[in-house]
Structure 1
Amino acid sequence: MKDIKRDKPDPNKYMNPYLAGILLGIVIIAAFFFSGEGLGGSGAYKDMVKASVVKVAPEYAADASYFEEAAKAERSPMKSWLVFEVLGMVLGGVVSGAFAGRLKLKLEHSPNITSRTRIIFAILGGIFFGVGSQLGRGCTSGAGLSGMAVMSLSGFIAAGAIFGGGYLFAYFFRKLWI
């Protein structure tokens, strides 16, 4: 087995994980306080898809039960606070990366795989995550974090299943990043 020399990450470029956890808790409390709802990124994508279908194919949206509510809505689902939450996360990530000097356009992957393989598995992972978030009635932030914030048993079960599944499958897919 080849000995791969890896650069150690600069601890000054990343936030302390304990502080990040506390700040995330404050964000969840603020979300419940100001909006009456928890966090959830998958809901924003669902709202964007619904708004797009209603705009592009209004007849289809009026007949399909999944889009029926969005088609009859008085205001656009694009004005949902979840859409602005996701836009804020993207903008915050870009700003954070820029300030820390980590904002680079490069594809990182294991020396054992090609860039093409990395891209294919990243896309497949995103698709599986999106489908899973719909089957599970929410993404990790909606089902796990917000569920646990309101002491919901299902939130704790979801978080356990999410992290347990990650540990279970990591063994089989570790060659894609090590």
Structure 2
Amino acid sequence: MAAWPPSVCGIGVGLLQLFFIFLLERSLGVSSAFTVFVAQLCRIPIFSRLVPELAKFTYGLKNATPLLFAIGAVSGSLLSSCLSQTFPLGKENGANIYNSILGGFFLLMGSRIAGGCTSGQGISGVTHLLVGSFVATAAMFGGGILFAITYSFAKVDLASGTL
């Protein structure tokens, strides 16, 4: 089975964004799921006294949806990778499950510290026509493209034995 078409996935995310905005009055973003996940510790009385700021993220449909979105995104990516036999973890791709989980954890921590993640900027910020989000999204894509080009040249040089 071939990989899922990006256009179909984009349309799905766009429709989900409309659902979030009109029915739940909030935007998509994955880093808020981390806050909701950690806030579930506030159900334990000792934690609720230590971190009372997280109590507002503990209950309610508006707080559960970012977590469901994050679980759905990860599950959908895993399903797509398995069905198309393009699972990116392994020695041939230079990644293993432990490094990927650790890297994802650091990415989530950084996005919460920064007040949002790349999906929040690219999907939600652009949906709201925020100029800063357009600039941030262009910079993220530009940085990714620049890294990919630089990495491909470095990989060719390393393969030939020259530096």
Do they superpose with TM above 0.5?
Answer: yes
- 8 Å Cα contact 1:40/1:141 also seen in 2: yes
The corresponding residue for 2:49 is 62
Q: Which amino acid aligns with 2:143?
A: G
Residue number among 23, 32, 40 corresponding to 2:21 in the alignment: 32
The corresponding residue for 1:15 is 4
Instruction: Map Cα deviations across residues 140-171 of structure 1 (whole Å, 9 max, x no partner).
Output: 22122100001011221221232233334443
Q: Say if 2:124 is the partner of 1:146.
A: yes
Residues paired across the two proteins, number: 152
User: How far apart in 2 are the matches of 1:144 and 1:101?
Assistant: 26
User: How far apart in 2 are the matches of 1:166 and 1:37?
Assistant: 28
- 8 Å Cα contact 2:36/2:67 also seen in 1: yes
User: How far apart in 2 are the matches of 1:131 and 1:172?
Assistant: 26
Q: Which moved more, 1:75-84 or 1:145-154?
A: 75-84
The corresponding residue for 2:72 is 88
| TM-score calculated relative to the size of structure 2 | 0.69
> Can you give the 5+ residue segments of structure 1 that lack an aligned partner in the other structure?
1-11
> Can you give the 5+ residue segments of structure 2 that lack an aligned partner in the other structure?
none
| TM-score calculated relative to the size of structure 1 | 0.65
CA positional deviation for 1:95? 4.8
Same amino acid, percent of matched pairs: 29
| Greater helix proportion | 2
Change over 3 Å in CA distance of 1:17–1:160 after alignment to 2:
same
